[in-house]
Each structure stands twice: as structure tokens, then as C-alpha cells.
A and B are shown apart, each in its own frame.
Chain A
């Protein structure tokens, strides 16, 4: 009886990991999100955003940022697939989360949304720095725009700005155009121009600057114009996605519901573009969109089907790979005409664009170059907004065997003729020499 019980417990515990509905390579959309808040009032003041996430199937867990019981991982397993930091003023996280834990979380491929604000703590600024953006150093600075501010009944200090300077990318922002400007009030950040993984999604207009709205400017501000990024994204090399923004109020119900009129324009939009913008970009961040996988790399000689262990120089070969895109619920064939394969040994000897058959199978054929050595089939695909594909398969290439060279070359017939005529001449001469007196 005891033995039976032990066996049944053991078998159930072996099956348990498969029952977990978690982020996995088979289903890359995140499932469990941990939302860290400064206080629970944010949960109700930003309820529209959280409800939209819940309605798309995410499991949200709301915790205070200094709750002593929070943890990202237990016994080496991550408990959540993504982290939302809506706690701009937290000085120290509670529980076992700290700066290093968050960095490890992202390094292991999980996604992150960081919202700073005008009272952002050093910790949040450091997390932003690690992700590749630099918030304005002045702790009381906010983004001010005296030309593109949002018109409101009270004469404000123009810190509430209406921005529509969006990145032009359908894959990140969805195919439907965001008609209304987006309301923003908070701090701006700048991107390091040498960093090619971070992108500005929403930038400030050329007339914006970052300064303390309550005091007079003594020196020209350092962060000005379109260099100020209001919302940025990072796609890391391990395909973790990070969204960084300098405002928490952009996600709030008040901004979602309010109408917006940009100063200087006559159109008054009934609803700001915040909800559509944030919904679409969160779809991108949580891998509901633009996630690629490449499977079934195959190569073979033209005319054969099995994969040889090595090729010979000047062989004709065919290479094929299947690429799928995650649509949120299933893997659909990925359709593009700029996927290229390289035949690489220290530098690409052959670089060819692959053609597809509309079902996700990309293939091309080419001739092995006249150089022998150990080559690699490399597919390095990096497209804006998509996960990067980096495939590499090694294959040796041998030179000709001694019996594979060309024979009876027409250009060499005179030499063949000369050699044979020498033989015939020798034969005739030896007869003549022997039998002449």
C-alpha cells in the first residue's frame, strides 16, 4: 500500500511539469506576469490596461514592490514569464528580487516593461541603463513642450504633451494606424546611438526639452528635441523584449479615456491613442506577434535526397529551411522575400536570397565555390521588430579526387598529339636504326 502510494506520487510529480501552462518554445507567448506596484491604488487607476491584458489570457499577479515575499524564481525555476515594473519610486525591492535578479531574468529570455516617472528612484534608472536607455539625470525634470502640448481647460505648464511621432513599423504597432496623438506626462530618456538593439517607438517633437517645470532654466537643457525618446523598446540578442517609458500615467484610465487636442491643430480627438498604442505594443512585448522559429534545415546535392557528410568543390547543392511565425495562437508560415543564406568560411563565399513556396519553406540552390575547407551554412536574419534568426550548420568541402579531374580536354589535343607522335617516332626510329647499314 505504501509502495503504491509512493509510485503514484512519483508518477504524478513527473507529469506535473507538462501540466504547467507556461512559456515554452512551443508556445512563445508569455502566460504569467508579475506586476510590481508602488501601491495598490495603481491597480484600480490603471484597471483598463490590466483588464485588457487579462482578457488576452495573461495571468497577472499584483504585488507591492517592497513585499517581502516576492520572488522571481524558486529552486532555479522562474515563476513568471514577464515582469511589469509599475513602481518608479521603489528604492529597494522586497523579497529576493534585486537589480541583479532582474538582469538575470531578462538574460534568461524573459520580457520586461519598465515605467519610470518624475520621482524615479536610482534603482529604476539603473535598470533602464542596463537596458540601454539613459533617463535624464535631474530628478525633478520632466519633458516639456511648448508647441506640441495637449490642450486642456486649465493653463498647465505644458508637461502634458500630445505626441504622434511614432516609429513606422506595422509589425510593432499593428496594421491599424493610430489616428489620435498619445498623451504623455513624465520624464524622457535618450538612447545610446552606438546601441543597435534599442529603438525609439515614440519620440518627442523637435520642440521638446527636458527640464524642471517649476524652476527657471539657468543653463540650456541637455536633452532636447527628437533625441528625447518617450517610449523605447529593446529586442535583446536572446530575443527578450523590453519596453521602457518615462511615465506611469500614460497607462492610466484617465489618459485612456480622455480626449486629446494637440496645440496648434483644430482636430479634437474623442479618445487618445494611448489605449490602442499600449495594447498593440504590449502584444509585441509579450511575444504575441513577430516571433519566428526556423526548423528543418536540410541540404543535399541536386538530384539526391539524403544529406551527405561532405561536399566536393563545384558541386550543385540545394539548401532549405522552414520558418514559422507565431500568430498568438498557432504557428503560421512566415512570408518574406529577404531571407538569405550564406556559404561562409571566414567570409561569405556565396550569399543568396532564398525563395519561398508560401508555406514557409525557403530554399535555394547554388554551386559550391572552387575552394575547399570547412564551410558553414549561415542564416543571419535580423528584421526590425522580429526575433533574430541565427542558424549555422558546418559542412566540409573536399577537393577533387585523383580520378575526378577532367580528361581529354580539347584544348590539350596538340600536347596529346605531340606525346603520341614522339612515341611513334621512337618506334619507327629504333627500327630504322637497327636495320640500316
Chain B
């Protein structure tokens, strides 16, 4: 009884500490997280659509999912590199890399979309 109660308490305490820690992150990182969430959500919609309707233009499906996943990955890279604790690159350089990689990604997507 006491064990259960304490594990439940532990879970709640963990959850609360995560929430407060997250509230303390800077706003621009939260914006990037929102962007990542949007990309992953779009990818999930596409997968559900393919599961119901079938994979007929498979190249279009792959292209759509790849654009979402690629966007999410590049945004995560940007988030890591823009963090104040990351000392390897200046944040401007990180953003420039992000933009260039996104341009290449979208070029590939447009070609593969059919």
C-alpha cells in the first residue's frame, strides 16, 4: 500500500518536476519544439491515411513522409545547436546550416513527389 502510494507519488513528482523544468526553457526553444511537433503530427496523419486508403502512389507517400521526418530532424538539430550550452558553433551558423539543408530537402521532395 505504502509502496503503491509512493510509486504513484514518484510518478507525479517526476511529472511535476519535468513540467516546471520545461516551463523554464527559453521561448525560442519552445517555438522549435512546437515546429517539431507539427512536423511529426503531419507525418502521423499521412501514415494513417496510407493505412486506410492503400499505398497507391507510393513515391508520393514516401516523399510526403520524408519531408515531414526530414523537417523534424533538421529542426531538432537546430534546437541542439542553438541552445546556450552548446559551444561548438555560433547560433547564426547553425541557422544558416538549417536553411541550406531545408532547401536541399525540399528540392529532393519536389522531385520525388511525382
Taking Cβ atoms with an 8 Å cutoff, the residues of A that contact B are 405-407, 409, 411-412, 414-416, 418-419, 421-423, 425-426, 429-430, 432-434, 436-437
Contact = CB atoms under 8 A, between A and B. Distances in A.
Contact of A411 (B31, B46, B56): B56
Interface residues of B, number: 34
Interface in B49-106: 49, 53, 56-57, 60-61, 63-65, 67-68, 71, 75, 78, 95, 98-99, 102, 106
Interface of B: 27-28, 31-32, 35, 38-39, 42-43, 45-46, 49, 53, 56-57, 60-61, 63-65, 67-68, 71, 75, 78, 95, 98-99, 102, 106, 109-110, 113-114
A405 B112 CA distance: 13
What 6 A-B pairs come out closest when comparing CB atoms?
Answer: A415-B64, A412-B60, A418-B64, A415-B60, A412-B57, A422-B67
A415 B57 contact: yes
Contacts of B60: 409, 412, 415-416
Contact of A419 (B28, B32, B67): B67
Nearest to B99: A430
Contacts, number: 81
A326 B31 CA distance: 89
A62 B95 CA distance: 108
B68 A418 contact: yes
Given A407-B114, A411-B53, A437-B28, 13 more contacts: A411-B57, A412-B114, A414-B64, A415-B57, A419-B63, A419-B64, A422-B42, A422-B67, A422-B109, A423-B106, A429-B35, A430-B99, A432-B31
Nearest to B113: A419
B28 A426 contact: no
B28 A433 contact: yes
Per DSSP, chain B at the interface is helix
Given A407-B114, A415-B61, A419-B109, A429 B56 contact: no
A434 B31 CA distance: 11
Contacts of B114: 405, 407, 409, 412
A355 to B, nearest CB: 36
B31 A436 contact: yes
